[in-house]
């Protein structure tokens, strides 16, 4: 049931736009089949027409089905408007020292990890629902959730594991291959692919690997078109709604490539010290800035916008971020064991 509910919630979010179209009845399709004579429908106030498939015509179909009245034409589309950020939730998570990474789960739950090998599932009231301790203790994006809300995380041996339903057992999706070690992982909500930021401890080189949902390697992103290294040390990774791969790189830059691995742009500012990273429903890139204690915003083409959250609103360093595309809340993990959820986008339907 959890798997089915998660799948329903995913498609509900993906296809929010309600499209009104006219209904077409394909007569030629019906004529391909040998349809026996349709007998009189009992218990109706008026008699249904009798006809054979070979004699089927549009008037008989309309008489049988009735009339369809279209009272509204056009497409009902969904757009978002930016508003002043409002604090909607604030929880204190027991069992963690600092909130290092957040992964949102459908049905108002979040996974939270810290430096001390703790990974905790909590609800929005702060109640601890599950606790794992064999995870990698690192200030990086060591966990994510797949399209049905199942946990995927990096363990102490740098293997990437996936939970089965009810978190009763774990299976290894991607085994560590020396000397490469996984530093951050993200599961695409579109196709279920895993994006993994990796570090070579021997050569000090970095790359991003793409795997399918079965753990099979399908892509490597490491160099730009000039053959230069793209990454210094990927700490957080995410995917934008337009398919771009966005990496928070070693607290000094934001590196963006397209889905084919071609370098699009990098943001490297002396005033920016990027930590956690995520994207929202408008394809904005949101970056926790440890230098200014704010959440910076970058549009999908690399233009820096005004900060969405400033130091006086956060009152602490934004260590990690996660955007819930179902509730449209931005979750911010702070330097202690506190997590806050803000809303700054409002959905507007228009015809």
**What would the DSSP string read from start to end of 288-345?**
EETTTTEEEEE-TTS-EEEEEE-HHHHSS---EEEEETTTTEEEEE-SSSEEEEEEEE
pLDDT tens-digit readout, 158-209: 999 998 766 777 899 999 999 999 999 999 998 999 999 999 989 999 999 9
Angular region, 166: left φ>0, alpha ψ -120 to 50, beta rest = left
Provide the Cα torsion 222, 225, 227, 229; round to 10°. Answer: -40
- CATH of 84-350, picked from 2.40.110.10, 2.60.120.920, 2.120.10.30, 3.40.50.20, is 2.120.10.30
pLDDT tens digit sequence for 53-97: 555 566 665 666 665 555 556 666 667 889 999 999 999 988 888
**Position 269 confidence tier, pLDDT thresholds 50, 70, 90:** confident
20 versus 139: the higher-pLDDT residue is 139
DSSP 160: E
The domain limits of the chain are 27-65, 84-350
Provide the 10 A C-beta neighbour count for residue 327.
17
**pLDDT score at 22:** 38
Does an H or E element contain 4, and which?
Answer: helix 2-14
d(CA 41, CA 46): 9
Reported confidence tier of residue 4, pLDDT bands at 50, 70, 90: confident
Average pLDDT along the chain: 84
Return the higher-pLDDT residue of 260 and 43. Answer: 260
Span 303-315, mean pLDDT? 92
Model confidence band, residue 36 (pLDDT cutoffs 50, 70, 90): very low
Task: pLDDT band for 275, please (50, 70, 90 cuts).
Answer: very high
- pLDDT band for position 346 (cuts 50, 70, 90): confident
Closest CA to 85 of 329, 351, 335: 329
Q: 152 with 193: CB under 8 angstroms?
A: no
Q: Which two tokens stand for residue 169?
A: 């057992």
The pLDDT of residue 112 is 95
Specify the pLDDT at position 48.
Answer: 47
* Segment (H or E) for 122: strand 119-123
Using DSSP, state whether 143 is helix, strand or coil.
Answer: strand
Q: What is the mean pLDDT of residues 272-287?
A: 95
Q: What pLDDT is attached to residue 35?
A: 45
Region 308-326: mean pLDDT is 92
| Phi/psi of residue 94, nearest 5 degrees | -80, 140
Q: What is the dihedral of CA 158, 162, 168, 169, to 10 degrees?
A: -70
């Amino acid at each position: 049931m959890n798997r089915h509910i998660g799948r329903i919630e995913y498609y509900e979010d993906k296809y929010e736009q309600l499209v009104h179209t006219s209904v077409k009845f394909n007569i030629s399709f019906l004529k391909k089949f040998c349809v026996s004579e349709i007998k009189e429908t009992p218990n109706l106030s008026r008699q249904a027409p009798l006809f054979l498939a070979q004699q089927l015509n549009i008037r008989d179909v309309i008489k049988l089905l009735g009339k369809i009245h279209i009272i509204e034409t056009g497409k009902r589309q969904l757009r978002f408007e930016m508003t002043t950020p409002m604090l909607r939730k604030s929880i204190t998570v027991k069992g963690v020292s600092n909130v290092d990474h957040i992964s949102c789960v459908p049905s108002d739950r979040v996974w939270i990890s810290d430096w001390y090998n703790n990974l905790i599932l909590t609800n929005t009231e702060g109640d601890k629902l599950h606790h794992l301790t064999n995870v990698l203790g690192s200030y990086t994006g060591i966990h994510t959730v797949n399209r049905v809300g199942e946990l995927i995380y990096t363990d102490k041996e740098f293997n990437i594991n996936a939970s089965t339903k009810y978190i009763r057992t774990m299976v290894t999706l991607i085994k560590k291959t020396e000397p490469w070690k996984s530093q951050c992982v993200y599961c695409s909500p579109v196709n279920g692919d895993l994006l993994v930021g990796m570090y070579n401890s021997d050569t000090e080189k970095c790359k991003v690997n793409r795997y399918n949902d079965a753990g099979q390697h399908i892509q490597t992103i490491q160099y730009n078109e000039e053959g230069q290294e793209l990454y210094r040390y990927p700490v957080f990774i995410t995917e934008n709604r337009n398919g771009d791969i966005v990496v928070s790189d070693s607290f000094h830059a934001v590196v963006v490539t397209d889905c084919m691995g071609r370098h699009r742009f990098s943001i490297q500012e002396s005033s920016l010290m990027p930590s956690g990273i995520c994207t929202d429903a408008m394809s904005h890139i949101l970056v926790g800035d440890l230098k200014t204690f704010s959440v910076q915003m970058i549009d999908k083409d690399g233009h820096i916008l005004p900060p969405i959250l400033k130091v006086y609103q956060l009152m602490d360093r934004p260590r990690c971020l996660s955007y819930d595309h179902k509730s449209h809340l931005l979750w911010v993990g702070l330097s202690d064991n506190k997590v806050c959820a803000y809303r700054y986008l409002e959905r507007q339907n228009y015809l």
